């Protein structure tokens, strides 16, 4: 059978008899002939002992969706809230100027560095206890942030909250794949999970201004902690319990020792920690890139990358556990999706942050007025996720994500050409509305692809890989954008480098940079995702 079409459906762990065939061609009915699918699009891991998933009843479905969406939603909401209330909060807790952005950066740092470890442990001990632990800890540390009296206390509690959410993010993915069978219901579950993050961030930006100007910024943390506690109680009584035999429970300690790539996780975590710390330092003060300590940490973090690759390659050759097998990167679709998640999450986060700075520092409007201007973002985020959940199994995935990223690219272009005196509706409104669409479209597709190439027993690790890529992408995207903006502003012809005109010159350069990144990802997907076909289809 010739390969004359590029539309190949990427289904999870297909048996030879149900491998997808190129669109427009029917599989041969003669003998046992199967379509000739290239290695760079074929799912990597074949099923070994995948368990049959019982279709949940409506009550279980509702509880699972509410709990997993709410916890990630609250985490993202707090990130958006902190972005808006940061100036007021910093004054109240006497946060030093050189630590101004650390309440934002340290959360992503600790989260990104612990995801692989906690995802691997969750695959051994079970997703439910890990998820409940994370939900409980997140409630406590969120409340502690609202009670913090000093800048150091605030940073420490935000760092611990980042660790807490690392219990939840990968296990949320595992809970979805173990609760919902492949098909429309799983697609909707992933779309709902995806909606929680960009919508939560945008809504946090909106509510942050209201809390900041009306009842105080601390109430943002207090209300979030209360809601998070309610979700914990609901999850404790409603989440399906792990179905484990007595033998499996006895073997937990043995599996923790033998089934986890501890060395690979350690190398990866150290590299990510130092890389994230370096970028966080640069984001707060771009001049630190010239400091010996920052440079040394950045060089070491980059040097650990080949060490990580060599180690997991050795593990794979010896048939031992490898946290992220090198063979995964030979799958073109997986590699392109991973690059896309890294870049798009970085551009989305950077645009949201730069938009808040544009409204408050260039147009010089209040925090509450800034919040009102972000209202279109959660609306477009909700709509795009609902649409993706409904059509993911019907429409080619490359068309969906490329179209979504094209719309988000328009948002960056509008902000690159905007003039401060322009009316909100002329460019800022469509930019705010369009920005989340690319990230939301990619979220559903990328989770479906990544969970399909990881074995059934390591779905929490699959979730941690996705979230690690996204978290590091956020840090890098924000840091590089901040460096570009600060550098251009510093070299502008304006005498007052803090004036709206000087700041806008730097922000405009950063928006052009983000526009170029978004465009590059669109081109990458147009080439790299050819042949992906439809994802999230129900297997017979």
Whether the Cβ atoms of residue 219 and residue 146 lie closer than 8 Å to each other: yes
Handedness of CA 528, 531, 533, 536 (dihedral sign): negative
Q: Which of 37-51, 66-80, 109-123, 445-459 has the lowest mean pLDDT?
A: 37-51
Q: Which band of pLDDT confidence, cut at 50, 70 and 90, is reported for residue 52?
A: very low
What is the torsion angle, in degrees rounded to the nearest 10, for the CA atoms of residue 66, residue 68, residue 69 and residue 74? 110
Give CA–CA dist 58/37, Å, rounded: 38
What is the per-residue pLDDT for 105? 74
Give CA–CA dist 193/231, Å, rounded: 15
58-528: CATH class: mainly alpha
Q: Which of 87-101, 105-119, 481-495 has the lowest mean pLDDT?
A: 87-101
What is the per-residue pLDDT for 39? 46
Distances from the Cα of 244 to the Cα of 53, 63, 168, 252, 263, angstroms: 14, 21, 20, 11, 27
Q: What is the mean pLDDT of residues 366-383?
A: 81
Q: What is the mean pLDDT of residues 466-475?
A: 81
Q: What is the mean pLDDT of residues 9-31?
A: 34
Considering only residues 99 and 271, tell me which one the structure prediction assigns the higher pLDDT. 271
Handedness of CA 264, 269, 274, 276 (dihedral sign): positive
Whether the Cβ atoms of residue 167 and residue 130 lie closer than 8 Å to each other: yes
What is the per-residue pLDDT for 177? 79
Mean pLDDT of the chain: 78
Closest CA to 516 of 347, 350, 393: 347
Whether the Cβ atoms of residue 122 and residue 226 lie closer than 8 Å to each other: no
Q: Which two tokens stand for residue 46?
A: 């074949």
For the chain, give every domain's residue range: 58-528
Whether the Cβ atoms of residue 41 and residue 161 lie closer than 8 Å to each other: no
Whether the Cβ atoms of residue 70 and residue 172 lie closer than 8 Å to each other: no
Whether the Cβ atoms of residue 348 and residue 194 lie closer than 8 Å to each other: no
Closest CA to 447 of 519, 389, 383: 389
> DSSP class of residue 422?
S
Give CA–CA dist 184/254, Å, rounded: 37
Q: What pLDDT digit, counting tens, does each position of 67-86 carry?
A: 888 877 888 888 878 877 87
């Amino acid at each position: 059978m010739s390969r004359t079409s590029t539309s190949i459906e990427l289904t999870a762990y297909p048996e030879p008899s149900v491998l997808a065939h190129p669109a427009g061609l029917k599989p041969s009915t003669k003998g046992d002939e199967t379509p000739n699918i290239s290695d760079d699009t074929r799912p990597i891991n074949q099923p070994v002992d995948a368990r049959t998933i019982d279709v949940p009843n409506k009550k279980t479905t509702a509880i699972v969706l509410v709990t997993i969406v709410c916890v990630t939603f609250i985490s993202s909401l707090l990130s958006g809230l902190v972005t808006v209330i940061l100036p007021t909060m910093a004054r109240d807790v006497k946060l030093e100027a050189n630590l101004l952005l650390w309440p934002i950066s340290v959360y992503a740092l600790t989260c990104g560095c612990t995801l692989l470890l906690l995802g691997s442990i969750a695959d051994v001990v079970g997703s439910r206890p890990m998820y409940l632990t994370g939900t409980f800890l997140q409630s406590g540390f969120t409340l502690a942030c609202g009670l913090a009296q000093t800048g150091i206390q605030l940073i420490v509690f935000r760092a611990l909250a980042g660790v807490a959410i690392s219990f939840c993010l990968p296990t949320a993915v595992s809970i979805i794949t173990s609760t919902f069978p492949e098909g429309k219901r799983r697609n909707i579950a992933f779309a709902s999970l995806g909606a929680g993050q960009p919508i939560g961030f945008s809504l946090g930006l909106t509510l942050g201004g209201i809390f900041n100007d009306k009842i105080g910024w601390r109430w943002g943390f207090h209300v979030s902690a209360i809601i998070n506690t309610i979700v914990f109680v609901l999850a404790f009584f409603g989440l399906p319990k792990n179905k484990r035999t007595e033998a499996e429970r006895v073997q937990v300690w043995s599996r923790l020792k033998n089934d986890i790539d501890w060395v690979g996780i350690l190398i990866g975590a150290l590299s990510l920690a130092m890389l994230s710390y370096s970028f966080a330092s640069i984001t707060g003060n771009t001049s630190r890139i010239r400091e010996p300590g920052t440079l040394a940490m950045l060089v070491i973090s980059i040097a650990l990358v080949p060490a990580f690759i060599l180690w997991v390659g050795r593990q794979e050759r010896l048939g031992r556990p490898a946290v992220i097998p090198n063979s995964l990167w030979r799958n073109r679709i997986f590699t392109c999706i991973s690059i896309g998640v890294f870049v798009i999450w970085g551009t989305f986060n950077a645009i949201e942050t730069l938009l808040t700075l544009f409204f408050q520092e260039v147009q010089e409007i209040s925090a509450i007025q800034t919040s009102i201007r972000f209202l279109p973002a959660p609306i477009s985020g909700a709509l795009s996720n609902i649409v993706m959940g409904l059509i993911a199994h019907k429409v080619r995935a490359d068309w969906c994500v490329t179209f979504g990223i094209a719309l988000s690219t328009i948002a960056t272009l509008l902000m690159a050409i905007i003039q401060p005196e322009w009316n909100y509706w002329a460019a800022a409104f469509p930019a705010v509305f369009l920005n989340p669409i690319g990230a939301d479209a990619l979220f559903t597709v990328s989770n479906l692809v990544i969970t399909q190439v990881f074995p059934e027993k390591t779905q929490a690790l699959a979730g941690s890989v996705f979230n690690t890529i996204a978290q590091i992408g956020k840090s890098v995207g924000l840091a590089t954008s901040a460096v570009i903006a600060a550098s251009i502003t510093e070299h502008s012809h304006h005498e007052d480098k803090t004036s709206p005109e000087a700041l806008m010159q730097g922000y405009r350069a950063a928006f052009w940079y983000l526009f170029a990144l978004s465009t590059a990802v669109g081109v990458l997907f147009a080439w790299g995702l050819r042949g992906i076909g439809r994802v999230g289809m129900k297997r017979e």
